[in-house]
Chain A
Amino acid sequence: MVHDRERNVEDLHLSNLTKMFGDVAAVDDLTLTIPAGSFFALLGASGCGKTTTLRMVAGLEDPTSGRISIGESDITSLRAFQRPVNTVFQSYALFPHLDIFENVAFGLRRRGIKNVEPAVNAMLELVELAPMARRKPTQLSGGQQQRVAVARALINEPDVLLLDEPLGALDLKLRRQMQIELKRIQTEVGTTFVHVTHDQEEAMTMADTIAVMNAGRIEQLGDPASIYELPKTVFVANFLGQSNLFAGTRIASDSNMIEVLANGIKFLVPVQRNSATGDEIIVGIRPEKMTVLDIPDREKIPTGNNILEGTVVDVSYAGVSTQYLITVPWGQNITVFEQNVIVGDRSSVGDRVLVHWAPEHTFGLAGGETLLATTVQAMAAGA
């Protein structure tokens, strides 16, 4: 293996990092520590500042203010070619005049390493491209080019590997395959990977930690499950998966549960799952946590569950699940996913139904925000 030497990887710190383009803050006072050896995803819609952040770490963009350091050493003022950081570029940027071997050897040769052959061959082995060594980049498929780009960066044993939408140009099936591949490589070499993507599913599959970015700031940081299960802002609730949100007001609370009145209906939200500080609370619930029942089955609902009544306006069958669009009394459409585990009748368009869920799945968000804090929700879901 190439990476059998004892690696002393250190954390990447971004402190108060700001990048202004004219009057617009592309990255706004960002402070973040990315632990050594982790697979870290910066997730956000285009224009949220994630790529600018990455380019500042690479040294391809100068921060307006702030500091970037690896461990104790400040790299803010180092030029790109002096940083112990390498990048896998969006659309790869492979050198068209060099063959695969020379593309991979490029970084080693620039650092004056004489005998590059064993390292390059081992690296091509790692990304399973050894037979392609003498081909030109244009003779390779998209997935193969992608792996060359990874090999070309990784061979330099960077402290941090930056990946800028590395899978964006690949079709869905290849993308899934490469996600697994990248994850395998990361585990094998133990380098810190910082991965920029707009694809929430990609971020959740691959990363240990996700930072959801919006308008140059980090909205929420955490491991994929905890961000998904307990979003802290309307933006995250809508960007990472889907959510049904109801704006309401706190009417009662004890040490366990908060009672919120929204559109004339009472909802229970666990105190621990409420991130609102005031009395204006947005009640949120993920579509797959909800269950659809026919009206006569009301007595089957466990006591204490949150309940809504509505009319089915759309049913779409999606293989593993069925997705319902249900209009609730105040005119809002909510989405419910039902696992296709039961054979037989499903609710159909026009049916009056009950929708219920356990309060433990409910989350509370700070009120006052618009419920559509992201309009890119559909885009992200479609990506």
Chain B
Amino acid sequence: MVAVLPSTGSTSGVVGQRKSRTGYFLLLPGMTWLAIFFAIPFVTLFLTSLQAPVAGQSGQYVPAFQISNYSDALVEYWPQFLRSFVYAGIATGLALLIAYPLAYFIAFKAGRWRALMLVLVIAPSFASFLLRTYAWKTILADEGFITSFFNYLHLLPDDRILNTGIAVIAGLTYNFLPFMILPLYAALEKIDPRLLEASNDLYASAFTTFRKVTWPLSLPGVVAGTLLTFIPATGDYINSELLGSTQDRMIGNVIQTNFIEFRDYPTASALSFVLMASILVLVFTYIRRAGTEDLV
């Protein structure tokens, strides 16, 4: 705030002006970046999504207002849409189940190993995303020990993992796990251990303490982690491309194929917009339900 001293109005006015200008200067680089790399492409993409094809010339489009691009795209590709949300949802759920106990351990029990464990969580990111996903091809290969093990137990419907939905979900879970662990850790680490003692002192067993104190206090981390996992997982195409079959294509693959192979830019753009809109709707509903609008 301005006007620290009860000085004359004019002085504090000048200070106030200078302050507000400083604020704009601070915003400038970010705003410029957003304008060039988000706002302009966003508008271009939207205009592209309404373009109409030039008859007889594949890959050529003219500006138009063809809303049917949207309905056509949805009618044709709704299964991939649905699959994207289902796969991303399952992967997010699995990531939460794996990440929560791990983040809990790092935050409360790891002691002097805490820093090392956090480094280990991030360490895989030093290798490229693509490379790691290729590695999973080997891990889940038909003759690999994981597939053999599950086959030995007769647990696999198709006798394989690679090129099935299971492989895609496994890949998504693995690739986005750090984005789940880190916000969870940050939220759990902030919890004062004395609150857990207080709960214990007030007749709550360890389990009740988790349910009534730890879990609610970690909700901001849960919300942040699930969003950071779910959103990129929904739009991801690498995992499906490398680990799945043509039966397991997600919406990211469809958009990519339409852009690069079919050169059907309007359909690809329309699909991108629908994806963006549906994620936004889902996220807002989710944040509402989680009741943590003020925490995110």
Chain A, 75-101, CB within 8 A of any chain B CB: 79-82, 85-87, 89, 91, 93-97
Contact B197 A106 (CB under 8 A): no
Q: Given the known A-B contacts A80-B197, A89-B194, A89-B198, are A95 and B213 also in contact in the complex, defined by CB atoms under 8 Å?
A: yes
Q: Given the known A-B contacts A96-B217, A97-B217, A110-B208, are A80 and B201 also in contact in the complex, defined by CB atoms under 8 Å?
A: yes
Asked if A107 lies at the interface with its beta carbon under 8 angstroms from chain B, I say yes
* Residue of A with least CB distance to B195: A93
Chain B, 165-222, CB within 8 A of any chain A CB: 192, 194-195, 197-205, 208, 212-213, 216-217
CB distance from B294 to the nearest CB of A (A): 11
Which B residues fall within an 8 A CB radius of A?
A: 192, 194-195, 197-205, 208, 212-213, 216-217
Q: Which residues of A lie under 8 Å from residue B202 when comparing CB positions? A: 81, 86, 106-107, 110, 152-153, 156
Asked if A58 lies at the interface with its beta carbon under 8 angstroms from chain B, I say yes
Total A-B pairs in contact (CB under 8 Å)?
Answer: 61
Q: Which residues of B lie under 8 Å from residue A79 when comparing CB positions? A: 200, 205
* Residue of B with least CB distance to A86: B201
Contact A93 B192 (CB under 8 A): yes
Give A261 to B271 CA distance when docked, in angstroms: 101
Give A97 to B295 CA distance when docked, in angstroms: 11
CB distance from B41 to the nearest CB of A (A): 41
Give A197 to B212 CA distance when docked, in angstroms: 31
* Residue of A with least CB distance to B198: A93
* Residue of A with least CB distance to B190: A96
Asked if A111 lies at the interface with its beta carbon under 8 angstroms from chain B, I say yes
Contact B204 A110 (CB under 8 A): yes
16 interchain pairs, CB-CB under 8 A? A58-B201, A59-B200, A79-B205, A80-B197, A81-B201, A85-B201, A86-B202, A89-B197, A89-B198, A93-B194, A95-B195, A95-B213, A96-B217, A97-B213, A107-B202, A153-B201
Chain A, 104-128, CB within 8 A of any chain B CB: 106-107, 110-111
Q: Which residues of B lie under 8 Å from residue A91 when comparing CB positions? A: 194
Contact B201 A87 (CB under 8 A): yes
Asked if A379 lies at the interface with its beta carbon under 8 angstroms from chain B, I say no
Give A153 to B201 CA distance when docked, in angstroms: 9
Asked if A378 lies at the interface with its beta carbon under 8 angstroms from chain B, I say no
Contact A97 B198 (CB under 8 A): no
Asked if A60 lies at the interface with its beta carbon under 8 angstroms from chain B, I say yes
Main SS at interface, chain A: mixed
| Most chain B CB inside 10 Å of its own CB: which residue of A58, A81, A85, A86 | A81
Q: Which residues of A lie under 8 Å from residue B213 when comparing CB positions? A: 95, 97
| Most chain A CB inside 10 Å of its own CB: which residue of B198, B204, B208, B213 | B198
* Residue of A with least CB distance to B201: A87
Q: Given the known A-B contacts A96-B217, A97-B216, are A156 and B197 also in contact in the complex, defined by CB atoms under 8 Å?
A: no
* Residue of A with least CB distance to B295: A97
Q: Which residues of A lie under 8 Å from residue B216 when comparing CB positions? A: 97
Q: Given the known A-B contacts A95-B213, A97-B216, A110-B208, are A81 and B194 also in contact in the complex, defined by CB atoms under 8 Å?
A: no
Contact B192 A110 (CB under 8 A): no
Q: Which 6 A-B pairs have the closest CB atoms?
A: A107-B202, A110-B203, A93-B198, A93-B194, A80-B200, A87-B201
Contact B199 A106 (CB under 8 A): yes
CB distance from B268 to the nearest CB of A (A): 44
Give A93 to B194 CA distance when docked, in angstroms: 6
Contact B204 A81 (CB under 8 A): yes
CB distance from A22 to the nearest CB of B (A): 15
Give A3 to B208 CA distance when docked, in angstroms: 27
Q: Which residues of B lie under 8 Å from residue A152 when comparing CB positions? A: 202
CB distance from A79 to the nearest CB of B (A): 8
Chain A, 35-64, CB within 8 A of any chain B CB: 58-60
**Extra 6 A-B pairs, beta carbons < 8 Å, given A87-B201, A93-B192:** A58-B201, A79-B205, A93-B194, A110-B204, A110-B212, A111-B203
Q: Which residues of A lie under 8 Å from residue B204 when comparing CB positions? A: 81, 106, 110
CB distance from B201 to the nearest CB of A (A): 5
Contact for A156 among B192, B198, B203, B217, CB less than 8 A:
B203
| Most chain B CB inside 10 Å of its own CB: which residue of A60, A80, A87 | A80
Give A96 to B197 CA distance when docked, in angstroms: 14
Q: Which residues of B lie under 8 Å from residue A58 when comparing CB positions? A: 201
Give A106 to B212 CA distance when docked, in angstroms: 9
Q: Which residues of A lie under 8 Å from residue B195 when comparing CB positions? A: 93, 95-96
Give A91 to B199 CA distance when docked, in angstroms: 15
Contact B200 A60 (CB under 8 A): yes
Give A131 to B289 CA distance when docked, in angstroms: 29
Chain A, 138-157, CB within 8 A of any chain B CB: 152-153, 156
Contact for A81 among B192, B200, B217, CB less than 8 A:
B200
Give A36 to B185 CA distance when docked, in angstroms: 45
Contact A81 B203 (CB under 8 A): yes
Give A91 to B192 CA distance when docked, in angstroms: 11
Give A3 to B173 CA distance when docked, in angstroms: 55
Contact for B201 among A60, A94, A97, A111, CB less than 8 A:
A60
CB distance from A21 to the nearest CB of B (A): 15
* Residue of B with least CB distance to A90: B194
Give A60 to B201 CA distance when docked, in angstroms: 8
Contact for A107 among B192, B194, B197, B203, CB less than 8 A:
B203
Contact B217 A60 (CB under 8 A): no
* Residue of A with least CB distance to B193: A93
Contact bitstring A242-276, B, C-beta under 8 A = 1, else 0: 00000000000000000000000000000000000
